[in-house]
């Protein structure tokens, strides 16, 4: 009896040992190693527990977003050359997920798990796309705003390849800035500095011109003010003279108003009496 129980316990243990779990957010693919069924089970295994025998292997394909990076730290950065023939080092990342309806076809093509597919095949696709698209741009374009268009072109290039394979590509992106040869950085910085200096000088010239024009306009304003004042004064004198000519008695009235009661003692043609003295005699 004890022997029977031991045998049953061993069978149960072996059975449990052969069970594998497909976690939530994954799809499993069963692979047969030997026999007439050697190859891939066409049934995709949804989350749950499955018996995996000694002649079988289970591969898991996550259907949630996966992220992989290839950078200098892990020695997987990617190099490409610009149209100038200059080499650029780039750290890149990719985010994607497996299409749960196509994981069998995906495994049939690559016979690898998702991590190996990403680190080998997807990396090669990204590298080839970057080499192809990067060779169309100058070093200055990649150094500046052109790197955005470059990574978008790489992303489209890779997406066109993987859409039918069962991989949903979400994004290809730069991890930090591309790395350029120091001589290129020095040259570009010098050019940028020269451009900024030229702009500064141009701004100074324009500022000087504006200040000079301001002074010219101020002088014109002053001259116009003097002219208008002179014209006004001349007009006033002319009007006053005309009024006096039309009213000669006004002069006598003004003289009387200013007379202090003393009769002029100077005679002659140059003397102008304030009062007609002939009448006094």
Contact status, residue 128 vs residue 172, Cβ threshold 8 Å: no
Left if phi > 0, otherwise alpha if psi is -120 to 50, otherwise beta: which for 101? alpha
Distance, in Å, from the CA atom of 230 to the CA atom of 47, rounded to the nearest integer, reads 102
Strand ordering across the sheet containing 66-70: 66-70, 92-98, 167-174
**pLDDT above 80: residue 253:** no
pLDDT tens, 21-78?
Answer: 888 888 888 877 765 556 666 667 888 888 887 778 888 888 899 999 999 988 899 9
Distance, in Å, from the CA atom of 137 to the CA atom of 154, rounded to the nearest integer, reads 13
Instruction: Report the pLDDT value the prediction gives residue 51, as an integer from 0 to 100.
Output: 80
pLDDT tens, 118-164?
Answer: 999 999 999 999 999 999 999 888 888 889 999 999 999 999 999 88
Instruction: Report the pLDDT value the prediction gives residue 38, as an integer from 0 to 100.
Output: 61
pLDDT band of residue 241 (cuts 50, 70, 90) is confident
From residue 84, how far is each of 139, 177, 209, 260 by CA, in Å? 7, 19, 41, 103
Q: Are strands 56-62 and 66-70 parallel, antiparallel or unpaired?
A: unpaired
**pTM for this model (two decimals):** 0.59
Instruction: Name the least confident of 14-18, 29-33, 39-43, 99-103.
Output: 14-18
Over residues 245-262, the mean pLDDT reads 69
Q: Looking at the DSSP assignment, which residues form a beta bridge with residue 92? A: 70, 174
Instruction: Report the pLDDT value the prediction gives residue 82, as an integer from 0 to 100.
Output: 92
Instruction: Report the pLDDT value the prediction gives residue 175, as an integer from 0 to 100.
Output: 94
92, two tokens: 């890149």
Instruction: Report the pLDDT value the prediction gives residue 154, as an integer from 0 to 100.
Output: 96
Nearest partner of 20 among 30, 10, 9, judged by Cα = 30
Instruction: Report the pLDDT value the prediction gives residue 246, as an integer from 0 to 100.
Output: 75
In this structure, what is the dihedral angle of CA atoms 238, 243, 247, 253, given to the nearest 10 degrees?
A: -90
29, two tokens: 């693919």
Contact status, residue 24 vs residue 48, Cβ threshold 8 Å: no
Q: Which residue has the higher pLDDT, 226 or 80?
A: 80
């Amino acid at each position: 009896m004890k022997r029977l129980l031991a045998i049953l316990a061993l069978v149960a243990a072996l059975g449990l040992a052969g069970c594998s779990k497909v976690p939530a957010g994954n799809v499993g693919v069963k692979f047969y190693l030997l026999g007439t069924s050697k190859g891939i089970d066409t049934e995709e295994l949804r989350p749950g527990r499955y018996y995996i025998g000694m002649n079988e292997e289970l591969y898991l394909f996550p259907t949630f977003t996966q992220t992989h990076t290839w950078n200098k730290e892990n020695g997987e950065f990617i190099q490409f050359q610009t149209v100038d023939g200059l080499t650029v080092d780039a750290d890149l990342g990719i985010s994607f997920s497996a299409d749960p309806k196509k994981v069998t076809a995906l495994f049939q093509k690559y016979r690898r798990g998702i991590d190996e597919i990403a680190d080998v095949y997807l990396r090669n696709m990204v590298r080839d796309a970057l080499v192809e698209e990067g060779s169309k741009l100058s070093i200055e374009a990649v150094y500046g705003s052109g790197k955005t268009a470059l990574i978008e072109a790489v992303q489209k290039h890779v997406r066109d390849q993987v859409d039918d394979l069962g991989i949903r590509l979400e994004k290809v992106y730069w991890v930090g800035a591309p790395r350029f040869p120091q001589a290129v950085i020095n040259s570009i910085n010098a050019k940028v500095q020269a451009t900024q200096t030229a702009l500064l000088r141009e701004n100074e010239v324009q500022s000087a011109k504006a200040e000079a024009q301001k002074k010219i306009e101020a002088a014109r304003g002053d001259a116009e003010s003097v002219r208008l004042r002179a014209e006004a004064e001349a007009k006033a004198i002319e009007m006053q003279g005309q009024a006096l000519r039309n009213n000669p008695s006004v002069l006598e009235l003004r003289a009387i108003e200013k007379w202090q009661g003393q009769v002029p003692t100077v005679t002659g043609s140059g003397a102008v009496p304030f009062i007609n003295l002939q009448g006094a005699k």
